Amino acid sequence: MSPQLIRLSRRSLGRVASHGVGGAISRVPTPSLERRYADTPTRFSPRPHRCLKASSVSLFILTFGITGYAKMTAKMVSYEQNGTKLEGYLAYDDSITAKGKVPGILIFPEWWGLNDYIKSRADQLAAMGYVAFAADMYGGAQTTTEPEKARELSGQLYGKPLMAERARVALDELLKTGLADPNKIATIGFCFGGAVSLTLAYTGAPIAGVVTFHGGLIPVPADAAQKINAKFLILHGALDPMVNKEAVDKFLQSMNDAKLDFQFVEYSGALHAFTNPAADKARAAGLNGVGYNAEAATRSWEQMKMFFRELFGQ
Tens of pLDDT, residues 163-178: 999 999 999 999 999 9
Q: How much is the pTM? A: 0.81
Q: How confident is the model at residue 250 (pLDDT cuts 50, 70, 90)?
A: very high
Average pLDDT score, the chain: 84
25 vs 14, 188, 269, 288, 306, CA distance in Å?
12, 19, 17, 27, 16
CATH number of the domain within which 93 lies: 3.40.50.1820
Q: Which domain holds residue 286?
A: 5-312
Tally of structural domains, the chain: 1
Q: Rounded to the nearest 5 degrees, what angle is found at the Cα of 54, between the Cα atoms of 293 and 101?
A: 90
Q: Of all residues in the chain, what percent carry a pLDDT higher than 90?
A: 76
Q: How confident is the model at residue 237 (pLDDT cuts 50, 70, 90)?
A: very high
State residue 69's pLDDT score: 58
In this structure, the strands spanning 231-237 and 72-81 are: unpaired
What end-to-end distance do the CA atoms of the chain give, in Å? Answer: 27
